[in-house]
């Protein structure tokens, strides 16, 4: 036992790498047999099952020193856990390189946050029933000296794993509110919040502080949270959301339809907006399933009295179909790509002139 729920099994000189796999399978089969537990309050024994993930490293290919082999098996285990939970994975030489490149990104990201080089870009949210822009979503951008503009998908997960997300989120909120305070009065700003910010940081006092310092009225701030935010049992998160709401801040549910419990989240908090995930919009014309889900979400929004916005609208046919389905609020490359704050006033002027 290496510790906690981690164990190592050593095989002596498997004749073939496939033997290691067969042994892994045998371990998995044995472990996943149901266990009968006699519990005090239960008349009948209760059946429980456990799962396991296995990472495999082979000597001498993946190292000859004990430390090296254990470390590489551990890396393979991480992949087995993350990518295909409940299975096994071999170590591959690329894994080490990937882990190192992640580590490098982490160090550079820490530095970028300290030197305040991350910037929000802004993408308009449009109400097609009036043609008005209701707001802009702030999307973090990292201008990297060698790698160019790094997209958030490459560093938000790392920021979340390393705790850097708090500082990153604070900086984005501050910049977005400062920028928005200079915009026309009816234009709001939407800021993405990581679930982790709710867990570790004091979101409420941060928001109050930023609003005060920027002079932005609370009614012009929207916070977007994804449904991965563990709402169910966290009374504290719910209390924070309600308190933010009481200030006048709006709360949107982002990426609707991608999580496991979208519907139960809708019941636990009265969101101000539902943003249908772009994966559904992108196949709304080609997949009857996607179209049905979009339709149902619009219906759901209507009966709960929550406006529904379609994100990721790229083409005119998509826009037309969504409009036919009764969707008024949209966001996507068809209207505008996210743009730097400097390009922003120009764009707004041009748009209002249309
Ligand atoms: P999101 O909040 O769902 O943001 C929408 C994403 O869709 C943005 O990607 C945007 O550039 C992209 N997008 C907009 N219109 C279109 C379109 O027509 N087609 C396609 N293919 N994509 C479109 P981006 O900027 O790469 O951000 C990705 C995600 O990273 C965001 O998804 C959000 O979850 C996260 N993120 C961005 N900025 C922040 C931030 O400041 N804090 C936190 N915690 N997360 C952020
Ligand atoms: Mg968003
Ligand atoms: Mg989204």
Peptide bond into 187 cis (omega under 30): no
Q: Is 306 exposed, middle or buried (0-12, 13-18, 19+ CB in 10 A)?
A: middle
More confident residue, 319 or 75: 319
Confidence bin at 349 (pLDDT 50/70/90):
confident
* Predicted pLDDT at 229: 56
Angle at 40 between CA 36 and CA 41, to 5 degrees: 105
Q: What would the DSSP string read from start to end of 55-84?
A: EE--TTTT-SSHHHHHHHHHHHHHHHHHHS
- How high is the pLDDT of residue 243? 95
Q: Return the ligand 1 atom nearest residue 139 CA.
A: 38
C-beta of 201 in contact with ligand 1 (< 6 A): no
The rounded distance, in Å, linking the Cα atoms of 311 and 267 is 22
What ligand has the least distance to the C-alpha of 258?
3
Residue 329 has pLDDT above 90, yes or no: yes
Q: What pLDDT score does 352 carry?
A: 77
What's the mean pLDDT in 14-36? 87
**Residue 222 near ligand 1, beta carbon < 6 Å:** no
Q: State the helix-helix crossing angle for 203-214 and 235-247, rounded to 10 degrees.
A: 20
156 lines ligand 1 (CB under 6 A): yes
Rounded-to-5 percentages of helix, strand, coil across the chain: 45, 20, 35
Tens of pLDDT, residue by residue over 184-243, are 999 999 999 998 888 777 899 999 999 999 999 999 999 999 866 555 456 788 889 999
- SS3 string of 192-249? EECHHHHHHCCHHHHHHHHHHHHCCCHHHEEEEEECCCCCCCCHHHHHHHHHHHHHCC
Residue 54, SS3 per DSSP:
strand
Q: Cα torsion for 280, 281, 286, 292, to the nearest 10°? A: 60
Measure the CA–CA gap between 307 and 252, rounded to whole angstroms: 10
Determine contact, residues 105/154, Cβ cutoff 8 Å: yes
The best mutation among 171, 278, 322, 336 to test binding of ligand 1, ranked by most ligand atoms within 8 Å of the C-beta, falls on 278
pLDDT tens across 285-301, in order? Answer: 999 999 999 999 999 99
Distance 343 CA to ligand 1 centre (A): 18
Per-residue pLDDT tens digits for 252-265: 999 998 876 677 77
Average pLDDT, the chain: 90
Distance CA 260, CA 127 (A): 29
- pLDDT, tens digit (0-9, with 9 covering 90-100), for 51-72: 889 999 998 888 889 999 999 9
The pLDDT value given to residue 190: 98
| Nearest atom, ligand 1, residue 313 CA | 18
Q: Is there an atom of ligand 1 within 6 Å of 160 CB?
A: no
pTM: 0.81
């Amino acid at each position: 036992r290496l510790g906690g729920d981690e164990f190592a099994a050593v095989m002596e000189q498997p004749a073939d790498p496939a033997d290691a796999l067969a042994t892994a399978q045998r371990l998995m089969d044995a472990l996943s047999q149901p266990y009968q537990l006699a519990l005090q309050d239960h008349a009948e024994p209760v059946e429980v099952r456990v799962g396991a993930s296995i990472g495999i490293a082979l000597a001498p290919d993946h190292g000859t020193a004990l430390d090296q082999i254990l470390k590489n098996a551990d890396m393979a285990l991480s992949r087995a856990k993350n990518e295909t939970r409940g299975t096994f994975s071999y170590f591959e030489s690329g894994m080490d390189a990937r882990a190192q490149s992640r580590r490098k990104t982490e160090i550079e990201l820490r530095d970028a946050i300290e030197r305040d080089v991350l910037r929000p870009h802004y993408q308009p949210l449009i109400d097609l029933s009036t043609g008005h822009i209701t707001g802009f979503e702030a999307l973090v951008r990292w201008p990297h000296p060698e790698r160019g503009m790094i997209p958030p998908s490459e560093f938000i997960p790392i920021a979340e794993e390393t705790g850097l997300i708090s500082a990153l989120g604070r900086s984005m909120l501050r910049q977005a509110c400062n920028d928005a305070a200079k915009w026309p009065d009816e234009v709001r700003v939407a800021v993405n919040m990581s679930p982790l910010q709710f867990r570790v940081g004091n979101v409420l006092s941060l928001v109050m502080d930023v609003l005060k310092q920027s002079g932005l009225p609370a009614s012009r701030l929207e916070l977007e949270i994804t449904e991965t935010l563990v709402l169910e049992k966290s009374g504290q998160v719910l209390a924070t959301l309600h308190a933010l709401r009481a200030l006048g801040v709006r709360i949107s549910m982002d990426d609707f339809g991608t999580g496991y419990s979208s519907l139960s989240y809708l019941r636990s908090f009265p969101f101000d907006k539902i943003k249908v995930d772009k994966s559904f919009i992108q196949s709304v014309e080609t997949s009857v399933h996607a179209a049905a889900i979009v339709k149902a979400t619009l219906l759901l929004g209507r009966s709960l009295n929550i406006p529904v916005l379609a994100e990721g609208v790229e083409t005119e046919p998509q826009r037309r179909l969504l409009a036919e389905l009764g969707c008024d609020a949209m966001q996507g490359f068809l209207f505008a790509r996210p743009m730097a704050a400097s390009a922003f006033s120009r764009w707004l002027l041009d748009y209002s002139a249309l």
